[in-house]
Amino acid sequence: MKIEVLAVWAERMESQTLTLADGATVADALVACEFVRDFPLAGMAVFGKRVTETTVLHEGDRLELLRALLADPKQSRRKRAEAAQAAKIAKNKARG
């Protein structure tokens, strides 16, 4: 069976098509993939659904290698909102 392994770094993306035996698992794909050693692996997914190393793969699956988030999305949103509020206050002070 053929599957695709996809990894995305901040500055580049890599994809590799693997031919594996029927019944192959995520662990088998990780061993066969060339660029996994360089990837800071935090998890894996198949078409966006989290999987483990024991998950059996199927023909045409796309195994996505997930890296850790660089920032907490909630914290980033909070900082943007605070900056927007500060800019709004400064603009109102300048007007009046």
Q: What pLDDT is attached to residue 96?
A: 64
Q: What pLDDT is attached to residue 39?
A: 73
Listed as ranges, residues in the chain with pLDDT below 50 are: none
Domain range annotation of the chain: 2-70
Q: Evaluate whether 3 touches 17 at the Cβ level (below 8 Å).
A: yes
Distance in Å from the first CA to the final CA of the chain: 69
Whether the predicted model's global pTM rises above the 0.85 cut: no
Q: Which CATH superfamily groups domain 2-70?
A: Beta-grasp domain (3.10.20.30)
Per-residue burial over 64-94, b if 16 or more Cβ lie within 10 Å, else e, is bbbeeeeeeeeeeeeeeeeeeeeeeeeeeee
The pLDDT tens digits for 54-72 are: 999 999 999 999 877 666 6
